[in-house]
Amino acid sequence: MNLEKVGNFIAELRKEKGLTQEKLGEQLGVSGKTISKWERGVNAPDIALLNSLSTILGVDIKEILNGERKAEKNLSKKRKKLIIKIIIVIFLLLILLFPILFTISNYNTVRVYNIESKTDKYFVSGFIMYNKERNLLLIHNIDLLDHNIGTELEDKVKNIIIGVHSGNKTIFSVSYDVASGEDLQTINSYLLNRTYYVDEVVKQEKNILSEGTDLNKLKIVIQYKNQQDKVKKITIPLTVSKEYSNNKLFGGV
């Protein structure tokens, strides 16, 4: 058994389920430090815990011991993300464009841009869609890959501002504050499983998104105050690439 491979696989599945090491440990009746040792390849899960662990993580015991999904399930994280993005784009295109296909002429134009940031520190995915009726920007995944995430060293947050910017222009911004008397949450808890979006009608009095928005300067800025009242700022530059454009109603890419 390759303990390092098994540990990395458990860590990947845990994060997919949105669990911290402590939360997974609580469900299994062990400490977060024990989970950390598994994920670092120091030792393997007790055989008595494998059945519960496989149920929580949604994989077979054999897959855990092999440190990977079965061949038919062994889609890479990148391919899974791409499939999800394609499904979302197709779904939105169907909702937005189906009635338009029957009512307007070939003057309609649709452009879809892929948004991502893939480094050893961040993973971000989303898309921008322009058409003659609406502008849409959607970020459906912000994942910080800091080694402290999920451990006791992860920053706990008193307040946090999450924004999408193009250069000095703010496209989207949302803030969260901890109410008096509430327990502080980790930074990852504010980012995990949230969707951030702008959805606006074209040619309203003032559009946030437009064809003039500089997509080459797109970035996410996260600013927060931790439990020591220290203000920290994380800037994530985004890469934007065109995935689809349609200048005619029926064909023509």
Q: Walk along the chain (253 residues) and give the pLDDT tens digit of each residue.
A: 788 988 898 999 999 999 999 999 999 999 989 999 988 988 888 888 889 999 999 998 888 888 888 765 555 666 777 888 898 888 888 777 666 555 554 444 678 899 999 888 889 999 999 887 888 999 988 888 877 877 888 889 999 999 999 988 999 899 988 776 678 888 888 887 788 888 888 876 678 887 778 999 999 999 999 989 999 999 999 999 988 876 554 444 4
H-helix segments, 119-197: 187-191
Amino acid in position 28 = L
Please report where in the chains the tokens 């930074």 appear, as a residue: 187
pLDDT number for residue 162? 93
The residue among 191, 161, 187 whose CA lies nearest residue 176 is: 161
Q: Which residues of 68-100 are buried (b: 16+ CB within 10 A; e: fewer)?
A: beeeeeeeeeeeebeeebeebbeebbeeebeee
Looking at the chain, the domain(s) classified CATH 1.10.260.40 span 3-73
**How far is residue 215's CA from residue 203's CA, in Å, rounded to a whole number?**
19
Ramachandran bin of 41, using left for φ above 0, alpha for ψ from -120 to 50, beta for the remaining angles? left
Res 201: pLDDT: 86
Query: Could you say which of 1.10.260.40, 1.10.10.10, 1.20.1250.20, 3.40.50.300 is the CATH number of the domain covering 3-73?
Result: 1.10.260.40
pLDDT of residue 225: 93
The pLDDT value given to residue 181: 64
Task: Look at residue 252 in the predicted model and tell me its pLDDT.
Answer: 46
- Give the Cα separation of 73 and 60 in Å (integer): 11
The set of residues, in sequence order, having a beta carbon less than 8 Å from that of 103 and lying 6+ positions away, is: none
Residues in contact with 198: Cβ distance below 8 Å, sequence separation at least 6, in sequence order: 135, 136, 137, 164, 171, 172, 208, 209
- CA atoms in the 13 A half-sphere facing the CB of 91: 6
Half-sphere exposure at residue 201, Cβ-oriented, CA atoms within 13 angstroms: 3
Please report the pLDDT score of residue 224 as a whole number: 93
User: 10: which DSSP letter?
Assistant: H
Quote the pLDDT of residue 166: 93
Contact in structure between 83 and 210 (CB atoms under 8 Å): no
